[in-house]
Amino acid sequence: MQKIIKGLLFILFILPASTFADDLKNSILSMRERAEVRNALLKDRFQTVLPQIMKRNNMDMWIIIAREYNEDPVIRTMLPATWLNARRRTILVINDPGNEQPLETYAIARYDVGEIFKKAWDPEAQPNQYEALNDLIKTKNPKTIGINKSEFFAQTDGITATELELFKAVLSKKNIRRIVSAEKVAIGWLETRSDKEMKYYPKICRIAHDIIKEGFSANVITPGVTTTDDVVWWYRERIRDLNLVTWFHPSVDIQRADNKNFDFLEAFSKAKPENVIRPGDLLHVDFGITYLSLNTDTQQHAYVLMPGESRTPDYLNKAFSIGNRLQDILTDQFKTGRTGNEMLLTALQQAKEEEINPQIYTHPIGYYGHGSGPTIGMWDKQEGVPVNGDYPLFPNTAYSIELNAKVNIAAWDKEVAIMLEEDAFFDGEKCEYIDPRQTEMIVIDWETDK
């Protein structure tokens, strides 16, 4: 009986939120409109982003090979919006003819791949798809032939052993020697955001922030009844209701005035579903959405008012400001050419000099939530991250500024972790938040806002 009552209460919590946020839902593009925007952004990227990436890395030809349902992570970012997967074997070829001429884009396929890649295979004249690719290579005679092969950057390691074997089987010894890893080209493609993309990204981040606020409200949370797992699933349902998707399952966790110490792993991966939210709780959410092929990754805090309270206690506000200060310390380290490890270690040193207890684990974001580019710490690698942390910072790249500051709360006789994550953009001069970051806790006034 109690389970039935609880289920009915949860349904009631969900219903007001749908009405509460009609403006948000109405602001989101239809699927057809999204396809038009995505295709336009992709076309622009091939004109404004990829040419400079190819030149920067002296890459004459870049070949991307994938089969349906076994897609290279890069090819997923190059398919038109109506292609949900590769088809049969899809081979894309990007050739730089030099002399400042536009890139040439071909599909070794039976048909064009969207508006960008033009068909360059006639199966009736040449039945073997790989021989058709070889014919194109011989015609263009590139000095370097890039393929997506990498030991350390997963998203740039998309060619399978089978496809690489079949590819090499048709090449001359001379052209086999010209094969190189396209790792840096692929990273550059994935990490670089275009001017046009950055006109949409603030709106995407704003949507994510708005959804978080909806969930952290008296419309969803009733202390003594609602569990953290209820809120997590409310977020999942709300994302679906808005015709969006998430790239990871959200998490909601609690810190409160008890004798339990903060546990990093529990906060993100082992939260107990039966955790009932109470007045006086400090809530934390980790949340992200995917929209227009771009991702968000956000962590924010909320405070559940105690009876008679009208605002967050000063000691929690002070703790939160320390988290904001740690963000500032890190974003001040962003300079073109610096490595992720250099930024990490300098930021940690400065934070400790300011008597902050820091932990930094910031990552690139864009086409993928955990994107390619310089890794700036990991939660279990505060001394630096080999290889991925040695990659340098380039302009026009985006990052999830993810970190925590542990602060002693005398009123609770324990340490709490202010865990923050906000998406930011580095334009080559400064690192700024794509949508304004959280600078004060969300207040859940369940007594008066219901």
- All structural domains of the chain with their residue ranges: 2-28+195-444, 50-191
| Percent of the chain that is helix, strand, coil (3-state, to 5) | 35, 20, 40
Q: What is the mean pLDDT of the chain?
A: 93
Per DSSP, helices labelled H in 226-376 are 228-241, 264-269, 314-331, 340-353
**Quick check: 85 pLDDT over 50?**
yes
* Its pTM surpasses 0.85: yes
Average pLDDT over residues 24-41: 96
* pLDDT higher than 60, residue 320: yes
Query: Could you say which of 3.30.450.40, 3.40.50.2300, 1.10.357.10, 3.40.350.10 is the CATH number of the domain covering 50-191?
Result: 3.40.350.10
CATH number of 2-28+195-444: 3.90.230.10
Q: What is the pLDDT of residues 152-202, one digit of tens each?
A: 999 999 999 999 999 999 999 999 999 999 999 999 999 999 999 999 999
Ranges 69-83, 289-303, 341-355: which has the least confidence: 69-83
50-191: same fold as 2-28+195-444?
no
Strand partners, 363: 400
Radius of gyration of the chain (CA): 25
The conformation of residue 52, written as its DSSP 8-state character, comes to H
What single string gives the DSSP state of each residue in 107-123? E-SSS-BTTTBEE---T
Give the pLDDT confidence of 237-283 residue by residue, as tens digits: 999 999 999 999 999 999 999 988 777 666 666 556 669 999 999 99
